[in-house]
Amino acid sequence: MVASETLALHLAGIRCPNFVDARIGEARLAIHMTARRAAAAGAPDHGVVIADSPNGFPCRHCLRWARPGERVILFPYAAIPPGHPYSESGPIFVHAEPCERYSATRKYPADFRNGRAFRAYNANYDMIDAEMANGSEPEAVIEKLLQNPETAFVHARSVTRGCYTFGVERI
């Protein structure tokens, strides 16, 4: 089986939206713009950082690594909203300059094939499972987590710093 067939098989019925979950709605799709405005206004929880390594600054809007020398905004993002036992807010980056939102579906973001852990949540935002892509393809891990009918969505996280990278849900 060629690689493209493997990908299509694994991601049937799955999409990898941008850094927010589509279920949350359009308001949060614009969070990158809110972040850019807040940084420009000097908000203390929005820092502007210059990327100084090729794979240390993942942009949650275009789902690519910022290139060394590019400016990124660092700010806290509530990947799991407040009011739940697993509520969580943590630091994420977006490009400071406009970038194109990752809009591919059924396609795993190529820049983040390594170093990700995957957490499955139910519809009540409870974490019900978690797994690392340890030597296996990330698509296979995501598919396994989504095979549980209780899984409402899956989050990809950095295995080292724990930062939220992107969400996956069924379509």
To the nearest whole angstrom, how small is the minimum distance from the Cβ of residue 126 to Zn ion? 30
Task: Give 61 or 157: the residue with its C-beta nearer to Zn ion.
Answer: 61
To the nearest whole angstrom, how small is the minimum distance from the Cβ of residue 147 to Zn ion? 31
> What gap in Å lies between CA 43 and CA 46, rounded to an integer?
5
In the complex, which residues of this chain contact Zn ion (CB under 5 A)? 59, 61-62, 95, 99
Task: Give 71 or 144: the residue with its C-beta nearer to Zn ion.
Answer: 71
Task: Give 145 or 156: the residue with its C-beta nearer to Zn ion.
Answer: 156
The contacts of residue 110 (CB under 8 Å, 6+ apart) are none
Angle, CA of 151, 4 and 100, to the nearest 5°: 70
3-state secondary structure (DSSP) of residue 28: helix
* Bridge partners for 121 per DSSP: 127, 153
Task: Give 22 or 99: the residue with its C-beta nearer to Zn ion.
Answer: 99
Q: What φ, ψ does residue 135 adopt, rounded to 5°?
A: 85, -10
> What gap in Å lies between CA 30 and CA 59, rounded to an integer?
14
To the nearest whole angstrom, how small is the minimum distance from the Cβ of residue 158 to Zn ion? 16
To the nearest whole angstrom, how small is the minimum distance from the Cβ of residue 9 to Zn ion? 29
Contact present, 108 and 138 (Cβ < 8 Å): yes
Task: Give 96 or 120: the residue with its C-beta nearer to Zn ion.
Answer: 96
Tokens standing for residue 153? 């969505």
To the nearest whole angstrom, how small is the minimum distance from the Cβ of residue 131 to Zn ion? 27
